[in-house]
């Protein structure tokens, strides 16, 4: 879908250094991403994570 979009925004929980991720686990390559938004993780009362 990122290839067909005019603008792609990636939401992330944390940023890592270049080369720290396995390229096979990346869903949308960075060449298609125009903006990155960092969203903090918040623990819920039920024990899950609310983004």
CA separation, residue 41 to residues 19, 24, 33, 35 (Å): 23, 24, 22, 19
- Average pLDDT (25-50) is 79
State pTM to two decimals: 0.59
Residue 40 confidence class, pLDDT cut points 50, 70, 90: confident
Mean pLDDT of the chain: 82
């Amino acid at each position: 879908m990122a290839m067909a979009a005019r603008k792609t925004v990636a939401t992330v929980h944390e940023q890592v250094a270049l080369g720290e991720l396995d390229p096979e686990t990346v869903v949308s390559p960075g060449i298609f991403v125009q903006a990155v938004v960092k969203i903090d993780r918040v623990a819920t009362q039920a024990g899950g994570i609310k983004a």
